[in-house]
Amino acid sequence: MNASTITIGGDLTIHRLGFGTMRLTGPGMFGPPPDLDAARATLRTARDLGIDFIDTANAYGPIVAELLVRETLHPYAGITVSTKGGMLRPGPNQWAVDGRPGSLRAAAEASLKVLGVERIDLWHLHRIDPNVPADEQFAAVAELQRAGLIRHAGLSEVSIEQIEAARKHFPVATVQNAYHVIERRSDPVIDYCEREGIAFIAYFPLATGALAAADSILAPFAARLGITPAQAAIAWLLARSPTLVAIPGTSRVEHLRENVGAAELRLSADDLAAIEKVGRKAAMLRAPKP
């Protein structure tokens, strides 16, 4: 794989094209995947293709994705595994936030055991719990670092103001927000992260598959270049900022190979501007009318 690299927290260097594991679970991101062998094969192929950053969470499944990562990739030679805590899963497509300090500690300790590591290289607060004072949650994350349970800490789905509040308690190494060529609400966050030396991890980079579909808004453009819509979307993301890490997920090896192929592309400034124009037009069309 030919993706450029980024260094997280000053000492953890990864390629900027990683792999997200949410899709390696059952319907509604709950329970085991329909085809366990295919899920394992996808993880093995990610490793074989040179992907060295795997993003997971204890809420995916729950636990299912972490278990598959351990079963397939442990002892993670040359691979950084990032996980998250602070979300509960009552059932399929159901998510609940739990940012109580004791719960965050328990989540990190459980991930340590499931992943089979003595320290988690990168751990994210999956969401800030609106029912728990934010400073208490940030202090709990800082304590995880002091206790040696986690190496670097990050945040997920946050604003600049929330990042700055967290930085009073611990060094924010990464921010993980939904972002793609249409979903642009985190543009100011990306610019902030670039200025501050914080890695920005874009999840849902293919809009949960919509940008990769045959009828994707990028399909006509991609056809002219002889690439796939998914490759166009990912190539644009990797060009968006040197601080951005894209983590497209899939349960199929052929889609994984397609995604990795995007790291080899070097689109022209005109091509990137064309993708930008298509994305912004689509964003305007789906924006709520006043």
Whether the pTM exceeds 0.75: the reply is yes
Whole-angstrom distance, CA of residue 138 vs CA of residue 276? 35
Burial readout 142-167 (b: 16 or more C-beta within 10 A, e: otherwise) = bbbbeeebbbbbbbbbbbeebbebbe
CA 171 from chain centre, in angstroms, equals 19
In order of 139, 196, 246, 276, the CA distances from 160 in angstroms are 18, 11, 20, 23
Provide the residue count of the chain: 290
Residue 219's CB is within 10 A of a number of other CB atoms, namely: 16
Whole-angstrom distance, CA of residue 73 vs CA of residue 51? 12
Q: Are 151 and 181 in contact, with CB atoms under 8 Å apart? A: no
pLDDT of residue 106: 98
Whole-angstrom distance, CA of residue 177 vs CA of residue 189? 9
Q: Is residue 203 among the annotated active site residues?
A: no
Catalytic residue from among 60, 179, 192, 203: 60
Q: Nearest to residue 12, comparing CAs of 179, 162, 198, 146?
A: 198
Q: Nearest 5°: CA angle at 166, between 193 and 11? A: 55
Whole-angstrom distance, CA of residue 117 vs CA of residue 100? 24
What is the end-to-end Cα distance of the chain in Å, rounded? 45
CB within 8 Å of 86: residues ≥ 6 apart: 97, 98, 99, 103, 104, 107, 125, 126, 127, 129, 137
CB within 8 Å of 54: residues ≥ 6 apart: 18, 19, 21, 43, 46, 69, 73, 79, 80, 81, 82
Topology at the third CATH level for domain 5-208+241-265: TIM Barrel (3.20.20)
- Rounded average pLDDT over 217-242: 96
SS3 58: coil
Q: Is the Cα torsion angle 80, 248, 155, 91 positive or negative in sign?
A: negative
Residue 227 has pLDDT above 70, yes or no: yes
Mean model confidence pLDDT for the chain: 96
SS3 243: coil
Tens digit of each residue's pLDDT (9 = 90 or more) over 263-273: 999 999 999 99
Residue 213 has pLDDT above 70, yes or no: yes
Q: Are 54 and 48 in contact, with CB atoms under 8 Å apart? A: no
Tens digit of each residue's pLDDT (9 = 90 or more) over 84-133: 999 999 999 999 999 999 999 999 999 999 999 999 999 999 999 999 99
pLDDT of residue 2: 73
